[in-house]
Chain A
Amino acid sequence: MRFPIYLDYSATTPVDPRVVDAMLPYLREKIGNAASRSHAFGWEAESGVEKAREQVAALVGADPREIIWTSGATESINLALKGAAQFYRDKGPHLVTVRTEHKATLDTMRELERSGFEVSYLEVQPDGLLDLRQFEAALRPDTILASVMMVNNEIGVIQDIAAIGELCRGRGIIFHVDAAQASGKVPINLEALKVDLMSFSAHKTYGPKGVGALYVRRKPRVRLEAQIHGGGHERGLRSGTLPTHQIVGMGEAFRIAKEEMSPDNERIRALRDRLWSGLSEIPEVYLNGDLERRVPHNLNVSFNFVEGESLIMAIKEVAVSSGSACTSASLEPSYVLRALGRSDELAHSSIRFTVGRFTTREEVEYTIDLLRRKVTRLRDMSPLWEMHSEGVDLNSVQWSAH
C-alpha cells in the first residue's frame, strides 16, 4: 500500500493514465490553435477539440453543438446563471436555488442579488433531498431561472432532476443543473431530462483540472449573455483560445466514463458499502444524507463526540475531507450538514470519505481499522464522550458561549 491513502475523490480524481496518453500529443506535436483556419496545425487542433466535444456530449445524451468549453464547473455555473439571468431579465427578477448548493452557485446568486435579482434559497429535508412540493410552491410568475445540483458534493445525495425539470419547463423557467459531481457516477440523458443548462467539470471524472463544459440546450433554444468577451470563440459565448490538450483530456475521460461507468460503479459501491459496514460498528456513528439516493462512491459520517479536524489529524495516513471548516476564522460547521438539521456537534464531527477508480479493498480495510483505533483514542480524551458515558444529556447542559 502507498501512503497516504487517497479517499478524497470528490475533491478531485487522479487523471486516468489513458487520459494523460491522449493529452500528451497535444502538448508535444499537435501544437496548433483550434481557431487557425489557414493551416494543418489549426485543422488538427480543431479536429481534436471537436472529437472531444462529441465524447462529452455522448456521455450525457446531448448534441455536440450544445457543448461549450469553459475553464471548469465554477465558470460554467457563472456563465449559466449570470448569462441566463441577464438575458431574460425583462421577464422577471426571481431566481430559485437550494441552500445546500456548492459555493459556486450560492456566491453567484449573491452577486445576482447585488445587481437587483431576488433569490429564494430552499431548505432540504433531513435526508438532504429537496421537497418537490416546496420547490413548486417557491416558483412564481416572475421566476425566470432555477438552479439545482444533481449530486451534492458533501453528502452525495442525488436530486430528482427529472421531476424538477418538468416543474420548470411547464412554467417556462430556465433550469440549470450543476452536474460537477454527477458525470460518470449517475447516468445522465439530456434527451429525456427537461434541463436547459448543465455544468460539468473534467477533474471530478478522471480528467485534467482547468477544463469544464456547459451544456446549452438548442431545442427549445436557451440564450445567454456572454461573460467573457474577445475573439468570439464558442459561438461568442466564451471567448479565449481553447486549451486543446485539456479539452482532449476531458473528452477521453468522458469516453472512458461512458464505456466503464457501470462495472466501475459496481466495484466502487462495494468498497463504499464495506467501508460503511466497518465504520458503523463503532458506537455513536451517524451517516449523513440518504444512503439509497446517493452516488456509489460517497460516505459522509459523523463520529459523535470527536471533533472532525482532530480526527483528520489523527488519520493522516488517509486523505479525507472534513465537513467542518474549522480552519477558517468563522469556526462554522458545514452549512450543508446544518441544512440537514444535524446538530452543531455532529456537523463538527463529520468526515467525507470518497472512494474511486483506483481505491483497493486493502486500503478500505486499513482505513476501517485506523478509524476504530483513532476514534477510541480521541474519545478517551473527549469530555463530551465522558459525559455521554456517564449518562449526561449534552442538550441539557448550559454551555458557556465563546
Chain B
Amino acid sequence: MSYSEKVVDHYENPRNVGSFDRSDASVGTGMVGAPACGDVMKLQIRVNRDGIIEDARFKTYGCGSAIASSSLVTEWVKGKTLDQAMQIRNTQIVEELALPPVKIHCSILAEDAIKAAIADYRGKREGESHANVAPPSIPHAAKAAA
C-alpha cells in the first residue's frame, strides 16, 4: 500500500522518540494496544507546575501509520493544558495524515494513548494529595497479571 507524504515524513523522521522516567511524579505514561493486534503505543507526557504539557515522548510497535500517528500527537500535545489535550480527536489525526480507512484504528490508538497518559498523570496527583504514597510505576494499560 502507499502512504501519504506526511506519514512517510513522520515515519522516517519521527519526532520525540524515547522515554521519560515512569516513576517521576511529573510524568504521565499511557500504553495502549496489544502485540497480538500488531500495534502497541507508549506515550509519555511531562507536565509542568502550571498544568501545561511541556514535553512528550513515544515508543510504538506497529505499522508506519501507527508510528506516524504517535509521532504526530507528541507534537500536538506540547504546550497544551491537560484539558486541551483531552480534546484531541482521532479524526483530526486521520485528516492530518490522510490515513486510509484500514488505518483509522492507528489514530484511535493514538487518541487513547493521550487519554491514558493524562489519566495516569492525574492518578498520580490524586494519590499524592490523598496520601504521600508513590503511585505504581507500571503504565496504565500494562499491569502485570497477578
Residue ranges of A at the interface with B (Cβ–Cβ < 8 Å): 305-307, 309-310, 313, 324, 326-329, 331, 333, 343-345, 348, 380-387, 392, 394, 396-402
Contact = CB atoms under 8 A, between A and B. Distances in A.
B8 to A, nearest CB: 8
10 contacts: A307-B62, A309-B38, A310-B63, A313-B3, A329-B101, A381-B17, A381-B59, A383-B61, A392-B144, A397-B145
- The prevalent SS among residues of A at the interface is loop
Contacts of B101: 329
B146 to A, nearest CB: 9
Contacts, number: 102
6 smallest CB-CB distances across A and B, nearest first, come from A399-B34, A344-B36, A345-B35, A383-B42, A400-B141, A309-B63
Interface stretch (B76-84, B102-110, B128-136): B102-110
Contacts of B48: none
Contact of B33 (A385, A386, A387, A400): A400
A134 to B, nearest CB: 27
Contacts of B33: 399-400, 402
B40 A398 contact: no
B48 to A, nearest CB: 25
A383 B60 contact: yes
B40 A331 contact: no
B64 A399 contact: no
A311 to B, nearest CB: 10
Given A307-B61, A309-B64, A348-B38, A327 B102 contact: yes
B67 interface: yes
Interface in B14-46: 14, 17, 19, 31-42
A129 B89 CA distance: 47
A165 B105 CA distance: 46
Given A313-B3, A386-B19, A400-B141, A306 B61 contact: yes
A402 B39 CA distance: 10
A386 B19 CA distance: 9
- Contact residues on B (Cβ < 8 Å of other chain), bracket: 35 or more
A392 B62 CA distance: 19
Contact of B61 (A331, A343, A384, A402): A384
A385 B40 CA distance: 11
B49 interface: no
Interface in B74-105: 101-102, 105
A399 B142 contact: yes
A162 B29 CA distance: 57
A151 B19 CA distance: 45
Contact of B35 (A310, A394, A398): A394
Contacts of B102: 327-329
B17 A399 contact: no
Contact of B34 (A324, A380, A402): A402
A392 B34 CA distance: 15
B1 A398 contact: no
Contact of B144 (A313, A343, A382, A398): A398
Contacts of B59: 381-383, 386
B11 interface: yes
Contacts of B37: 331, 344, 401-402
B112 interface: yes
Nearest to B63: A309
A396 B142 CA distance: 9
Nearest to B38: A348
B60 A399 contact: no
B19 A399 contact: no
Contact of A307 (B19, B32, B39, B108): B39
A398 B60 contact: no
Contact of B38 (A333, A343, A380, A400): A333
A144 B116 CA distance: 56
B1 A327 contact: yes
A236 to B, nearest CB: 43
Which of A326, A331, A382 has the most chain B CB atoms closer than 10 A to its own CB? Answer: A326
A331 B105 contact: yes
Interface string B49-68: 00000000001111110110
Contact of A399 (B14, B35, B109): B35
A378 B39 CA distance: 13
A314 to B, nearest CB: 8
A387 B143 CA distance: 12
A402 B108 contact: yes
Which of B17, B60, B61, B105 has the most chain A CB atoms closer than 10 A to its own CB? Answer: B61
Contact of A384 (B40, B66, B67): B40
